[in-house]
């Protein structure tokens, strides 16, 4: 092949590859691709306003989308959510203990397992690790 024809073929191949890459990026790029769907799952939140203390559920996908859109890069914790009862941005994620039903904030028991219940001492994370270690 002549040098001119080789260059033309190479340019066509490069153009096709770039077009294909751009198409893939266009169709896979979305705000929601960073957030799993969590279809049908909910999270539990509790209002920290002393006059309210409302506990409520929120769609898990909507919660993670809210956190992603409102996260302060200088903060180590998730942003507060607006409480549906008092209307203040004062609700945070909580855990409901599977054993005793106690509702508490993650890390409240000041343990290596953030889901350790301060009332009964149960930790789902710890139980899961023990089960994996036995296998």
Domain boundaries, the chain: 3-32, 38-134
| Helix or strand run (H / E) with residue 45 | strand 42-47
Q: Which of 14-18, 48-52, 88-92 has the lowest mean pLDDT?
A: 14-18
Using alpha carbons, select from 85, 97, 28, 93 the residue that is nearest to residue 66: 93
Confidence band of 24 (pLDDT split at 50, 70, 90): low
Q: Quick one: average pLDDT of 87-112?
A: 94
Predicted TM-score (pTM) of the model is 0.68
Percent of the chain with pLDDT over 70: 79
Count of CB atoms situated within 10 Å of the CB of 83: 21
Per-residue model confidence (pLDDT) at position 10: 75
Confidence band of 31 (pLDDT split at 50, 70, 90): very low
Q: Quick one: average pLDDT of 90-115?
A: 94
Count of CB atoms situated within 10 Å of the CB of 95: 21
Per-residue model confidence (pLDDT) at position 55: 97
Residues 6 or more apart in contact with residue 114 via CB below 8 angstroms: 106, 107, 125
């Amino acid at each position: 092949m002549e040098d001119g024809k080789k260059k033309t073929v190479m340019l066509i191949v490069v153009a096709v590859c770039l077009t294909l890459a751009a198409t893939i990026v266009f169709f896979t790029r979305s705000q929601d691709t960073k957030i799993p769907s969590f279809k049908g799952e909910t999270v539990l939140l509790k209002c920290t306003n002393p006059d309210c203390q409302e506990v409520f559920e929120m769609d898990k996908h909507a919660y993670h989308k809210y956190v992603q859109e409102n996260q302060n890069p200088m903060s180590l914790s998730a942003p507060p959510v607006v409480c549906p009862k008092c209307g203040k941005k004062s609700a945070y994620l909580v855990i409901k203990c599977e054993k005793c039903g106690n509702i508490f904030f993650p890390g409240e028991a000041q343990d290596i397992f953030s889901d350790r219940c301060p009332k009964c001492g149960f930790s789902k994370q710890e139980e899961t690790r023990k089960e994996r270690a036995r296998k």
